[in-house]
Amino acid sequence: MLFKKIFNFFDKLEDHVRKSLSKFPIAYALIGGIGIVLFWRAVWGLSEDMGLSNLDALIISIIILLATGLFVSYFIGDRFIISSLKGEKKIIEKTEEEILGEEDQLKKVLRELNTIEDKLDELTESNK
């Protein structure tokens, strides 16, 4: 019960902070960067306090990353894995014609999304 309350608090706080900071991307990046560096500094310090050698830390980190499925996705990237599984070509291997075809498809999808958005706006206005 206490865990759920704490989780909900931080979930709502995160939503509020994200919404506020998204208006200021440079500040958002700086604050996020500071948080990440401090986190890794604390992990580094903790591993030193525990007396872990570099080899110990490497082995433990690989085990954790493999067990959670983050090892490959972090170092290679989800996009690369998905495109490989789909058999997609690397952008460097695509012809100009293929790239232009994809661009046309994206433009068509964008037009359709804009049409849907307009219709939703009309429905919203008519319901007021």
pLDDT in tens, 48-102: 999 999 999 999 999 998 888 787 777 766 666 666 666 666 655 667 777 777 7
Question: Same domain, yes or no, for 84 and 116?
Answer: no
Question: Same domain, yes or no, for 99 and 45?
Answer: no
CA–CA distance, 95 with 113 (Å, rounded to integer): 27
Query: So what's the pLDDT on residue 81?
Result: 60
Question: Same domain, yes or no, for 17 and 46?
Answer: yes
Q: Taking the mean position of all CA atoms in its chain, how far away is CA 80?
A: 14
Average pLDDT over residues 33-48: 93
Q: Residue 89 corresponds to which amino acid?
A: K
pTM of the model: 0.51
113: domain range? Answer: 92-128
Query: How many domains, the chain?
Result: 2
Question: Same domain, yes or no, for 87 and 108?
Answer: no
Question: Same domain, yes or no, for 80 and 99?
Answer: no
Question: Same domain, yes or no, for 98 and 128?
Answer: yes
Question: Same domain, yes or no, for 39 and 28?
Answer: yes
CA–CA distance, 65 with 121 (Å, rounded to integer): 45
Structure token digits, residue 88: 């997609």
